[in-house]
Structure 1
Amino acid sequence: MRLKYIVYYLILMFSNCTPALAQSTARVVRVKDGDTYVFRSGARVFTVRLTKVDAPEMKQAFGFTAYQCVNQLLTGKAVEYDSVGKDLYGRVLVSVKLDGKRLDSLLIRNGWAWHYIAYDTETMLDNLMNEAIMTHSGLWACGVNHVCPPWLYRSYNERNRAKYCKGCTNYLLTQK
């Protein structure tokens, strides 16, 4: 009898400690940039932001190219997502799966975004970014010395952007 109570107590305790992830589905209506999209779920239309990546800004080197690649990949597609809250701009923070594959992994592996290490410490994403750097994929076409992370780009004024965020002038960068 006592064992039943202990087992019941443990089940109750662990069920409260592990929150259930509410996975939802939506269709990608629009890609705003490499890491920000507009979703439609039923009648609801809302803007989302990926949580573990940071893609180049549209005016930043490789930003438009990253946008084009992600736009081609996602627009009109049905995706699964888990929301984890909202950011300062009212966007829903999400992790996304496309055809059962994690979108953050895909973006990092193709060199379309950085692993956002300020907000995530997942080793697998670090390894994928290092792989993209070693193979000169996407924004890494000219190596690590010719890229400016978006979090620095956003913090710089125009003068420092021109000085430190020149980007890659390699012809291959515009072709990938």
Structure 2
Amino acid sequence: MLCGKSRTSYFVCLFKELFLRTKLIKYKTMHFIYSLLVAFLLFSCSKQEEVAQIQKKYDFSVKVIRISDGDSFVGLNDAQQQMRLRIHGIDAPESGQPYGKKAKQKLSEFIFGKQIYLKVLDTDRYGRKIVKIQTNHISDVGLEMIKSGLAWHYIKYDNSHQYSQAQDNARNLELGLWHDASPTPPWQWRSQKHKSSAKKVFLR
């Protein structure tokens, strides 16, 4: 903006210019804030729709309050009842095995303290619900445990090609328990431990 030569006209002109610039800055600021609000609302609606779609696919949700080991945990349902749960299709190292603690830690990272969604597939002899799990960020927790090399594909109860492929990849990359040359599957470890205990009882 060109201002006159007189002092009065100069200050009037300067004031007008400052006023217009301030107005422009306010407009840009409000436009930016408005854009942020619109983006936030769209994101919130999208997340709500995503959660709603997840809930439709699963039977119910729980908040995880305790991790027992790498494939089992305790959740609190909407009625504030504790439920003992086991993940379908995987078998993680037992606490007495190598990588047992790491498997428990990894599962804790995935689900402890979080609201998760469950699809019940069966009930085991211990009264635990056998479940598939999804969180807001992980579509299949059991699969992620296998991918990390901290759980075996439990082929006795699951024939998923995706799980088998994930285990092969983890083995090839020597992730987690696959870093060892010949890791013992948990079901074999439990069987050996059971036979050893039975033998001790027999010899008494």
Shorter chain as normaliser: what TM range?
A: 0.7 to 0.9
State which of 105, 130, 144 in structure 2 corresponds to 1:93. Answer: 130
> Matches of 2:129 and 2:176 in 1, distance apart?
27
Match of 1:117 in 2: 155
Residue type matched to 2:122 in 1? Answer: G
> Matches of 2:128 and 2:194 in 1, distance apart?
26
Structure 1 residues 22 and 135: alpha-carbon distance in aligned structure 2, compared to 1, 3 A threshold: closer
Deviation string 1:81-124 (CA, Å, 9 cap, x unpaired) is 11123100011111101224101110000011000001111111
Match of 1:71 in 2: 108
Match of 2:172 in 1: 134
> Matches of 2:104 and 2:59 in 1, distance apart?
25
Q: What does 1:6-155 align with in structure 2 at a 5 Å threshold?
A: 22-42=58-78, 43-99=80-136, 100-142=138-180, 145-155=181-191
**Percent of residue pairs identical:** 29
> Matches of 1:86 and 1:26 in 2, distance apart?
17
Please give the TM-score of this superposition, normalised by the length of structure 1: 0.74
Match of 1:17 in 2: none
Q: Confirm or deny: 8 A CA contact 2:153 2:167 kept in the other structure.
A: yes
Any idea what SS the aligned residue of 1:118 has?
coil
Higher RCO (CA-CA < 8 Å; seq separation 6+): 1
Q: Confirm or deny: 8 A CA contact 2:110 2:141 kept in the other structure.
A: no
Match of 1:13 in 2: none
Structure 1 residues 69 and 44: alpha-carbon distance in aligned structure 2, compared to 1, 3 A threshold: same
Indicate the RMSD between aligned Cα atoms, in angstroms. Answer: 1.9
Match of 1:167 in 2: none
Shift of 1:157: 3.4
Shift of 1:72: 2.6
Q: Confirm or deny: 8 A CA contact 2:67 2:104 kept in the other structure.
A: yes
Q: Confirm or deny: 8 A CA contact 2:58 2:117 kept in the other structure.
A: no
Q: How many residues align?
A: 139
Residue type matched to 2:173 in 1? Answer: T
Structure 1 residues 38 and 158: alpha-carbon distance in aligned structure 2, compared to 1, 3 A threshold: closer
Task: Give unpaired runs (5+ residues) of structure 2.
Answer: 1-55, 197-204
Shift of 1:159: 9.2
Relative to total residues, which structure has the larger helix share, 1 or 2?
Answer: 2
Relative to total residues, which structure has the larger strand share, 1 or 2?
Answer: 1
Deviation string 1:20-79 (CA, Å, 9 cap, x unpaired) is 965211111110000000011121211100110000001111111111221232210111
Please give the TM-score of this superposition, normalised by the length of structure 2: 0.64
> Matches of 1:157 and 1:70 in 2, distance apart?
24
> Matches of 1:159 and 1:106 in 2, distance apart?
32
